[in-house]
A and B are shown apart, each in its own frame.
Chain A
């Protein structure tokens, strides 16, 4: 690769290469974010519940 233009053009294969990379990025971001969000939600719910139990 010599220039940004070459890079984006991918020798004419940009319509195949970039969607493949874009989709991989989407799937991998989702794989990382979903468990983190669920974990935060679960811990939040549990915290609410233990707080209720411990109220006098």
Chain B
């Protein structure tokens, strides 16, 4: 029972609003430090690739963006499922806050990939499995965001959007394994957890730092967006009046 009250308190809007405001600057600071170090390591210290020359340096934004595009979608889908089955308003709030960020990183992954594809493959775009499934991910985000706002009652929108988010999760393994299942232009994974990577440490370390930096940045933006969503959704609640009086 104690755990339940703790959870209930943790999930109460004013508490979440306060925690979000408290943690956002720390995430932002960590992100700034990691991204600065990652850029220095990736753009200046790392040697040019023996096949791709300096064009490979796009990896330092392409891979972190692609990583976030998929992890943000997992977050949207899991939060949506929690909101749908357990009728948790807070879960819908988190999903709605994460979706635009995820969409922006999906867009970045697509465009930076395209800018990398031109010198490497000779084309900005091919309709191969990896690129197409990533484009579908962008449309899933757009659909989720549009559906959430498509109804007079935000709760109806939340429920409709969460069904789309849950169905759309089948696209994630398709994206991930697309380079294995189909013969694609896109290369397979270079970074592996647990069994070594196919990339030199001087190139790998900045990449890992950039991934950490982007993730932390995502965390900071997500927390601020959760605050915005809470103020919008809880309009008229007593805790907001209280909050405004205090600041």
Give me the interface of A with B, judged by CB distance under 8 Å. Answer: 1, 7, 10-13, 16-17, 19-21, 23-24, 27-28, 30-32, 35-36, 38-39, 42-43, 46-47, 50
Contacts and interface: CB of A to CB of B under 8 A. Distances in A.
Nearest to A13: B55
B99 to A, nearest CB: 12
A43 B17 CA distance: 13
Contact of B116 (A11, A12, A20, A23): A20
Closest 7 CB pairs of A and B: A11-B54, A13-B55, A35-B224, A10-B54, A11-B53, A20-B112, A24-B61
B228 A42 contact: yes
B61 A31 contact: no
Contact of A23 (B101, B112, B224): B112
A10 B57 contact: yes
A17 B57 contact: yes
Contact of B107 (A21, A27, A50): A27
B227 interface: yes
Interface string B77-119: 0000000000000000000000001001101100110011011
Contacts of B241: 46, 50
Interface string B34-59: 00000000011100100001110110
B119 to A, nearest CB: 5
A47 B244 contact: yes
A31 B240 contact: no
Task: Name the prevailing secondary structure of the A interface residues.
Answer: helix
Task: Name the prevailing secondary structure of the B interface residues.
Answer: helix
B130 interface: no
Contacts of B53: 11-13
B221 A35 contact: yes
Given A12-B53, A32-B221, A47-B244, A20 B58 contact: yes
Contact of B224 (A19, A24, A39): A39
Contacts of A31: 101, 104, 221
A21 B61 contact: yes
A12 to B, nearest CB: 7
A41 B55 CA distance: 42
Given A1-B43, A31-B101, A50-B245, A17 B231 contact: no
A20 B54 contact: no
B25 to A, nearest CB: 12
B111 A23 contact: yes
Contacts of B245: 50
B72 to A, nearest CB: 11
Given A11-B48, A16-B58, A31-B221, 18 more contacts: A1-B43, A10-B57, A12-B53, A16-B115, A20-B115, A20-B116, A27-B105, A31-B101, A32-B220, A35-B221, A35-B225, A35-B227, A38-B228, A39-B227, A43-B247, A47-B247, A50-B244, A50-B245
